[in-house]
């Protein structure tokens, strides 16, 4: 589970919109809004990727899809480990000689 976000989504959108619309330096906008400049820099980069302006980052939709695929892979790996353990258990059971209960 992801950690809770320190800044609300509305603030993120407002800050990235202000940087884009005004052309002011990220550090100045961050200082005015009381946020870390590196956080704002990352938001601006991600917003650019989401608009298709950047090729060096995944879009938000691509990140969500990748996160989901990684979760599915982890779940499938856990299922495979369970199946491997079960097959070992049943293979041992088959290899044991069966005895008839005495009457």
Instruction: Judge if 35 and 50 occupy the same domain.
Output: yes
pTM score of the predicted model:
0.53
Instruction: Judge if 51 and 65 occupy the same domain.
Output: no
Element (DSSP H or E) covering residue 77: helix 60-95
Q: Would you state the structure tokens that stand for residue 77, as one six-digit string?
A: 């790996």
* Beta carbons within 8 Å of 69's beta carbon, 6+ residues apart: none
Express each pLDDT in 48-99 by its tens digit: 887 777 777 788 788 899 999 999 999 999 999 999 999 998 888 887 777 7
Instruction: Judge if 51 and 70 occupy the same domain.
Output: no
Q: Given CA atoms 89, 90, 92, 97 in this order, what sign does their dihedral have?
A: positive
User: According to the model, what pLDDT value does residue 77 have?
Assistant: 98
In a domain, 42, yes or no: yes
- Percent of the chain as helix, strand, coil, to the nearest 5: 70, 0, 30
């Amino acid at each position: 589970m992801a950690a809770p976000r320190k800044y609300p989504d509305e603030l993120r959108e407002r800050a990235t919109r202000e940087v884009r619309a005004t052309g002011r330096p990220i550090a100045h906008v961050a200082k005015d809004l009381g946020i870390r400049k590196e956080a704002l820099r990352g938001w601006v980069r991600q917003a650019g990727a989401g608009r298709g302006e950047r090729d060096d980052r995944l879009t938000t939709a691509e990140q969500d899809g990748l996160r989901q695929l990684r979760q599915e892979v982890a779940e499938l790996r856990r299922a495979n480990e369970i199946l491997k353990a079960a097959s070992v258990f049943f293979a041992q059971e088959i290899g044991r000689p069966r005895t008839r209960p005495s009457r």
